[in-house]
């Protein structure tokens, strides 16, 4: 998954009611591949622009893309990467915590049309870390 696609997935996972009134700007820098993003939350919407950085962000996150991939895949967290010295937060950590507080977990078995949800399907378990992607489905037939 590209960084841009992951950031867009975060935007989809954001609860706009929880984001009401929040205005934050985060720069994301992945030095190992040279990607730079500005992530902005305003008007209860989360947007990102590749190739740009804000001059005065609330927070700048510096993490190698190879390590970010582990967060995206649920193998680690930003907190663990920070403790290991593999991620650096420059600025106000509150911006990250605010963004995290707006995330919600969608279940993959939502109804496309009312009454179509299977009654036999077990309820999906919520993800503990909203920045973490769910495990990849096993399709080997087992």
Delineate the domains of the chain, giving CATH numbers in brackets.
3-101 (3.30.1050.10)
The partner residues of 50 in beta bridges, in order of sequence, read: 37
* Spatial contact of 66 and 35, defined as CB atoms under 8 Å apart: no
Chain CA centroid to CA 89, Å: 16
Average the pLDDT over 99-109 and give the result: 83
Q: What is the pTM of this model?
A: 0.76
- Look at 13 and 107; give whichever has higher pLDDT: 13
**Residue 44 structure tokens:** 């209860």
Give the pLDDT score at 135: 62
pLDDT category, 127, cuts 50, 70, 90?
low
Average the pLDDT over 108-125 and give the result: 70
Q: At what angle do helices 65-72 and 3-13 cross, to 10 degrees?
A: 40
């Amino acid at each position: 998954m590209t960084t841009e696609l992951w950031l867009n997935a975060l935007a989809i996972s954001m609860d706009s009611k929880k984001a009401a009134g929040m205005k934050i700007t985060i720069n994301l820098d992945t030095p190992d591949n040279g990607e730079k993003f500005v992530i902005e939350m305003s008007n209860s919407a989360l947007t990102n622009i590749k190739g740009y950085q804000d001059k005065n962000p609330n927070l700048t996150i510096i993490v190698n893309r190879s390590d970010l991939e582990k967060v995206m895949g649920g193998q680690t967290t930003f907190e663990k990467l920070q403790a290991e010295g593999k991620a650096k937060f420059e600025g106000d950590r509150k911006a990250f915590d605010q963004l995290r507080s707006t995330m919600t977990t969608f279940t993959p078995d939502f109804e496309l049309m009312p009454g179509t949800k299977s009654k036999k399907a077990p309820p999906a378990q919520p993800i503990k870390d909203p920045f973490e992607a769910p495990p990849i489905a096993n399709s080997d037939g087992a």
